Amino acid sequence: MKMSPTNVENRIEALDITRGFALLGIFIANMLLFHTPYLHVDPYSWFTSGDAATFKWIDVFVQGSFYPIFALLFGYGINMQYEKSIQRNTPFVPVMARRLGILLGIGLLHGLFIWSGDVLFPYAVMGFLLLIFVRIPAKWLALFAGALYMIPAAFMYFVAKLLMKANSNLLMSDYADLDLIERSIEVFGSGSFGDIFTLRFFEWLVIGLGGTFMGFFIVLPIIMFGAALSKWKVIERAKEFKIRLAILALLSLAAGIWIKLLPHLKKPALDLIQIQDTIGNIILAAGYVSLLLLFCTFPLFRDVFRPIGKAGRMSLTTYITQSIVATLIFYSYGFGLYGRVDLAAGTWIAVGLFVVQVIFAELWLSKFRMGPLEWLWRKGTYGRSLMKKEE
């Protein structure tokens, strides 16, 4: 008996809506990298005037707090596939390995030829590792994930504290690279496709491969925790957990926002930025997930935001097309607006393009069961053709 993809009727709407909101947050955060040399600047001093206020808003409420949601749901989905394979007595590892292998290839192509900030490659690598741990009971999987995340996070925080102790005036501005800032503006704004590929390849080596290594201590634990939540059926049983979700949302949102504000309330020192990135981001993400799951228990909320769920259903197509359109807008082989757009305009461009993606998803899924890239992914995994929706 062959393992088959999830039917439309069997999808969990709250999962798709949450993933859709995560894609919006990711796009807003990624806009910082699409149109500015964000990787190489000290954002706390680089952005001035109106841009400084916009950056503060993005840094506190968006930056780094939506990728964890995406990773959490990635692990949630893998465990759902694992449990379905057990119920149907079908092979899991060969099929999922093929699925992850295709995602790895898509991520590699995305990172090398479209945008260096790809997350699909490291997610696929961490997905392969999850295949080892997915059989562990939920309790132990969650505990192991927590330890795997917190121990390196604590180590990095103490390293940052030691660096600050050695030089109390050490700030993010000390790590800004003026040469790479100028080169990024020149190459992405007016360089040839070959120049852009060369710089993008260099950035991918740092972000893609470097991010994959760091993913063992950041992404993998979140994916594992998502798998544990899937074993507990947290999303499916959200109505049972309304009070707990409300309390968790309130506490996590308050704590997460306060921690993420620290570099803005004081000097943007390394230790404060470290705790913002490793602790504040994940706590705020927990608050967002809790709030969305709580809201999704109300039919009116699901009805209003169902279109965003459609974009979440087409997450691979949505994510890749965000990079394609954004690079066409800002890179020299498109409109060449790199370095010429302020943060507020970039944010509204992201929101506007996401609205277009939501409309496209609504129209596409009225005719087909899945997005175009999802079809390619399914075709490679299961060898089946895309079918139109039944009348």
Average pLDDT over residues 251-275: 92
Query: First and final CA of the chain: distance in angstroms?
Result: 28
For the residues 103-128, what does the mean pLDDT come to? 96
Residue with tokens 């852009």, as numbered in its chain? 196
Residue 35, pLDDT > 50, answer yes
Q: Are 321 and 110 in contact (CB under 8 A)?
A: no
Q: Which residue is listed with tokens 């399914």?
A: 378
Percentage of the chain lying above the pLDDT 70 cut = 93
Does residue 390 have a pLDDT over 60?
A: no
Is a pLDDT exceeding 80 seen at residue 309?
yes
The whole-chain average pLDDT of the chain stands at 91
Q: Are 315 and 23 in contact (CB under 8 A)?
A: yes
Confidence check: pLDDT of 185 > 50: yes
Instruction: Say which DSSP state 12 is in.
Output: -
Q: What tokens appear for 281 in the block?
A: 């981001």
Mean predicted confidence (pLDDT) in 51-77: 96
Query: What per-residue confidence (pLDDT) applies to 172?
Result: 55
Q: How high is the pLDDT of residue 160?
A: 81
What pLDDT sits at residue 270?
84
289 is written with which tokens?
A: 């997930």
Token duo for residue 333: 């082989």
- For the whole model, what pTM was predicted? 0.92
Is it the case that residue 175 has pLDDT exceeding 50?
Answer: yes
Over residues 53-59, mean pLDDT:
96
C-alpha to C-alpha distance for 81 and 91, rounded to whole angstroms = 10
DSSP code at position 335: T
Asked if the model's pLDDT at residue 386 lies above 90, the reply is no
**pLDDT score of 387 more than 50:** no
In angstroms, how far is CA 191 from the centroid of its own chain? Answer: 29
Q: What per-residue confidence (pLDDT) applies to 61?
A: 98
Question: What pLDDT sits at residue 49?
Answer: 85
